[in-house]
Structure 1
Amino acid sequence: MASRRHGTPPGSPPGGHAGHQRLQRRLGVFDSTAIGLGSMLGAGVFVVFSPAAALAGPLLTLAVAVAGLIAYCNAVASAQLAAKYPASGGTYVYGRRQLGEWPGFIAGWGFVTGKTASCAAMALTFGHYAAPAYATPLAIGAVVVLTGVNLLGITRTALLTRILLAVVLATLVFVAAASLLGPHPDGAPGAAGELAALTAPATSGGWGVLPAAGLMFFAFAGYARIATLGEEVKDPARTIPRAILAALAGAFVIYLTLAVLLQWHLPPQQLAGSTAPLLDAVEHSRLSAGAPFVQAGAAAACLGALLALIAGVGRTTLAMAREGDLPTPLARVGGAHTVPLVAELAVAAVVIILLLTRDVLTVVGFSSFGVLIYYAVTNAAAFTLPARPWHAPRWLNALGFLGCLVLAVTLPPASMLVMAGVLAVGVAVRFLVLRRRRT
């Protein structure tokens, strides 16, 4: 294994680079769980049910269950590895230590590129919910402010995440209550619902369950943020597994409940064609006056997911820079609160460039493909672990690995081609850099 090759203890920074300053362990189980759950209950929960329903039709709940099963396999694998290697970087580190440098690089590169695009999408979605006419300036402002919060230290990140998570949970409870109370007395949906009902595509089903599960899986992937923050967690062997599984369990119950309620409350065509299904559910109910509250909750969800995303991408960038797979200045840890200063600023700069140059909402579909490849490496790395708890048998790792690959290849072809191209560019550049170093 690479860990023996480097001769470093599990708790040391990746690659055994003793000259790199360590981050400080400040997060307990509660804060770690909040960060993971806040990442999963991001903007996706307010939009993902419609495209998933269009693909899966009446089998939407089955798609949620399939996505949850694969996410559970990945969560168990992540928990095993994070307890053994409690350093920043997540699967990038695990892949290097257990499988070798190239699998680790592919996982890390897919995560950094895919999630950076997701950061831009989350920021822009926030802008559209808050004030559509000023979406881009608001998105840039959100990136700047939240990066500033992250630079104040991981405890500030956890505090703001808890606040935003409370707002999002209150919003989802309100949506559930509106759905249970039934349609509006006059039977007329809101404006968004009328438009969706007129333009909705026919719902599918059957084989559409797998691509729908691939889309739903994207909404489950936030627990990776707990693993990428492994160097800042207290008692990681105990805290990380508990936080990952608790966050995933909470998200699964919420998603399954919402899927059942939305299918019960909204006509199939309207659910499949809506651009804001949770907002439609409220506008179509006896609590339609609460629609602005749902919009505010969606904005808070975007901010919470963006906050955790920037922190997670920054830590993976830090780990890759420590190993020389990204420019080494990105490995600098500094500031009064011991944070990956240069990496976080670099991530924020790239996100702002994306926001200024194009509409990232049209190009972030490949992120799901990158995340599934990331977790395929996670499962492969966990499969090689000799010591394992009773609840993490090897067949579960094998199921997670195969499940990730199946969901990845059933995604829309454009998503696969774009992410495959991004991965190929990263591999080619790394190959040329390594060859130049040798010569």
Structure 2
Amino acid sequence: MAVAEPPRADLNPETGEFETPLKRVIGPGMLLVFVVGDVLGAGIYALVGVVAGETGGAIWTAFLFATILAIMTAFSYAELVTKYPAAGGAATYVDTAFKVPLLTFVIAFAVMCSGIASAATLSKAFAGDYLSEFVELPVVLVAIGFLLIVALINFRGISESIKLNMVLTGIEVLGLVIIVVIGVAALANGDGDAGRNLDFPAGENVALAIVGGAALSFYALIGFEDAVNVAEETKDPARNFPKALFGGLLIAGVIYLLVTFTASMVVPTQQLTDSDGPLLEVVREGPLGVPTKLFAGIALLAVANGALINMIMASRLVYGMSVRGVVPRIFDRVHSGRHTPIAAIIFTTGLAMLLASLGDLSDLAGTTTTLLLFVFAIVNVAVLVLRPDPGAHPHFQAPSVIPVASVVIIVFLLIRRASDNPEYFAYAGALVALGIVLWAVQRVASSR
């Protein structure tokens, strides 16, 4: 199969880097922090109890499996971003490999929809037990109101949004540190029951329980793929990107294992499963006496941060596709005063509100990971399709067995999910179908 040459910046023979108008300011340390910050997020605050419903007390096994799968997929991203450091994102790699406009669009739209579904997931988490620590309100109404506030912040401007994101990221990491410290204190005091970490649901196949939990816990590990978008601003990307991707995922994975081990040890499994704010239960039952209202406030800010990041990404993707004439031009409208993509923000917020009204926490998290698992499967195939292109400079190369194994595992996860949770596919399919309709409308309008 012939491989089309992707757009490239000029290669500087002295530095071995592609020339770019952007300033290369991101060193290896900063890049590692960037990846860790992208991966560590609000998902862990919401999903521990949902995963416990699949795995029983052995929650850590699902997160371990999901971390391994994320690292395997990171091999493909590491090869692609070091081979084509002037390109960024799954849609670009898929377009370079296959040159099928509809497939490229579906991948881009699926990534956008995953952000919308993720924000809807977090809106339900925000409206649940964490908020109930302060006030009891109808969950759906709070979720819709929450998404409206996120939209207003998004509309206010990207500068304000990023500054707020930096502050909230530090707060959400603090919350996870508190949980880990509670776990250390519980072990030191002999509190809780560490044996629960080996308890699987009675009468269920252990391997299938882990796979079911991993398909959901994968939600907490997404984000590493966004790092490829700063390739042109990274010093020596061919050397630094693989280390940052793998190192960031390992750091996040270890933190998640510590958090899930603590949660299962300190809190009975059924109590975790029944809660929309599972880490709040850890604080409540733990030995340190951390005020529950303080931790609930931290969790609410963490969840808000995750939703804001997702909605910024989703609205900019819709705007970008509209500017390029891929979806109807109405979505390229920019507010004259705030200079933000107002039509795209309204569209993505409306979709997120609709999902939050229709789905529960598990459905929405499952929809998010279903979309991204599909994207990752295609990216893993793309890296193999692009192998005949040697690239213009030395780059990282993943052992061929890893992307092949990744595709096999992802397809297996998707088949299991289609069998056990067809509602996830229903939501994901409906979102992608909407995108194809918009694409077709724009094609017809352009032809006229």
User: TM-score, length-normalised on structure 2?
Assistant: 0.77
Displacement of 1:333 in angstroms is 9.5
Equivalent residue, structure 1, for 2:275:
274
Cα deviation code 1:329-352 (max 9, x no counterpart): 767999999x9x43xx34432343
2:431 counterpart of 1:422: yes
Equivalent residue, structure 1, for 2:153:
145
Structure 1 residue aligned with 2:181, among 177, 183, 201? 177
Residues 67-78 of structure 1 aligned to structure 2 (within 5 Å): 67-78=66-77
Displacement of 1:145 in angstroms is 1.8
Contact 1:79/1:241 (8 A) holds in 2: yes
User: Structure 2 CA distance, aligned partners of 1:335 and 1:257?
Assistant: 48
Cα deviation code 1:78-130 (max 9, x no counterpart): 22223344467610111111122333222112111221132243345445545
Equivalent residue, structure 2, for 1:350:
347
Contact 2:180/2:262 (8 A) holds in 1: yes
User: Structure 2 CA distance, aligned partners of 1:276 and 1:34?
Assistant: 27
Greater mean alpha carbon deviation, residues 82-91 or residues 250-259: 82-91
Equivalent residue, structure 2, for 1:409:
415
* Structure 1 residue identity aligned to 2:407: F
Contact 1:380/1:401 (8 A) holds in 2: yes
Equivalent residue, structure 1, for 2:15:
none
Contact 2:333/2:344 (8 A) holds in 1: no
User: Structure 1 CA distance, aligned partners of 2:372 and 2:21?
Assistant: 25
Instruction: Return closer, same or farther for 1:311/1:291 CA change in 2, 3 Å cut-off.
Output: same
Residues 276-291 of structure 1 aligned to structure 2 (within 5 Å): 276-291=277-292
Displacement of 1:374 in angstroms is 1.0
Structure 1: runs of 5+ lacking an equivalent: 13-21, 189-200
Contact 1:321/1:328 (8 A) holds in 2: yes
User: Structure 2 CA distance, aligned partners of 1:123 and 1:323?
Assistant: 31
Residues 109-148 of structure 1 aligned to structure 2 (within 5 Å): 109-123=109-123, 125-126=125-126, 129-130=130-131, 133=137, 135=142, 136-148=144-156
What is the CA RMSD across the aligned residues, in angstroms?
Answer: 3.9
Displacement of 1:220 in angstroms is 0.6
Equivalent residue, structure 2, for 1:65:
64
Displacement of 1:150 in angstroms is 1.9
Instruction: Return closer, same or farther for 1:328/1:8 CA change in 2, 3 Å cut-off.
Output: farther
Contact 2:311/2:349 (8 A) holds in 1: no
2:172 counterpart of 1:168: yes
Structure 2: runs of 5+ lacking an equivalent: 12-19, 193-200
Displacement of 1:421 in angstroms is 3.3
User: Structure 1 CA distance, aligned partners of 2:87 and 2:311?
Assistant: 14
Contact 2:22/2:232 (8 A) holds in 1: yes
Residues 300-315 of structure 1 aligned to structure 2 (within 5 Å): 300-315=301-316
Residues 102-113 of structure 1 aligned to structure 2 (within 5 Å): 102-113=102-113
Displacement of 1:267 in angstroms is 2.3
Residues 42-53 of structure 1 aligned to structure 2 (within 5 Å): 42-53=41-52
2:393 counterpart of 1:384: no
Displacement of 1:230 in angstroms is 4.8
Contact 1:41/1:301 (8 A) holds in 2: no
Displacement of 1:429 in angstroms is 5.1
User: Structure 2 CA distance, aligned partners of 1:237 and 1:323?
Assistant: 30
Residues 16-31 of structure 1 aligned to structure 2 (within 5 Å): 28-29=26-27
Structure 2 residue aligned with 1:397, among 399, 403, 425? 403
Cα deviation code 1:122-144 (max 9, x no counterpart): 34544554565483434422332
Displacement of 1:320 in angstroms is 3.4
Contact 2:81/2:88 (8 A) holds in 1: no
Displacement of 1:328 in angstroms is 5.2
Displacement of 1:278 in angstroms is 1.2
Displacement of 1:327 in angstroms is 3.6
Contact 2:116/2:351 (8 A) holds in 1: no
Contact 1:95/1:381 (8 A) holds in 2: yes
Instruction: Return closer, same or farther for 1:259/1:203 CA change in 2, 3 Å cut-off.
Output: farther
The SS at the match of 1:8 is coil
Aligned residues: 409
Equivalent residue, structure 2, for 1:196:
none
User: Structure 1 CA distance, aligned partners of 2:103 and 2:253?
Assistant: 29
The SS at the match of 1:325 is coil
* Structure 1 residue identity aligned to 2:152: V
Greater mean alpha carbon deviation, residues 134-143 or residues 98-107: 134-143
Cα deviation code 1:354-390 (max 9, x no counterpart): 4655526535231211011111111111122334856
User: Structure 2 CA distance, aligned partners of 1:28 and 1:420?
Assistant: 38
